Structure 1
């Protein structure tokens, strides 16, 4: 579950569809370099490739961490594995 909320009047972070590179799926936040934002749910489902550790998801972000990294927070996985 995402740790940050969306401000309906703000445009800083958004909920988007993305392919996430994740060797393991136990995390709920991902650095920007592991996330590929895509236009639609269909696009991420088509681009998913578990053999390459690429999984379809809905995420919120990007949000800047206290260390200065841009992070995306998992809303949900879009496949049936979890």
Structure 2
């Protein structure tokens, strides 16, 4: 997987607390429609619902894929 870094000049690509919809936590990147951003890690953890495959995470993005999709990359899981 390519290394993605925050863009200090434009602030387009940066880290965000989020809730990610994913049935398996083995993935390292997620399409934009599976990611809901939050202002704080505490809000993301409170909104997570593992029974519904909604997991709190710190993500980096958005970044454009070669196919034109906006992706978020996993930095770390917040709920364990």
- The normalised TM-score by structure 2 is 0.92
Structure 1 unmatched runs, 5+:
none
Out of 33-42 and 10-19, give the one that drifted further. 10-19
Q: Would you say how many aligned residue pairs link Structure 1 and Structure 2?
A: 80
> Residue 7 of structure 2 aligns to a residue in which SS?
coil
Counterpart contact for 1:2–1:74, Cα < 8 Å: no
**Divergent runs of 4+, >6 A:** none
Structure 2 unmatched runs, 5+:
none
Counterpart contact for 1:60–1:75, Cα < 8 Å: yes
- The normalised TM-score by structure 1 is 0.90
- RMSD, aligned CA: 1.5
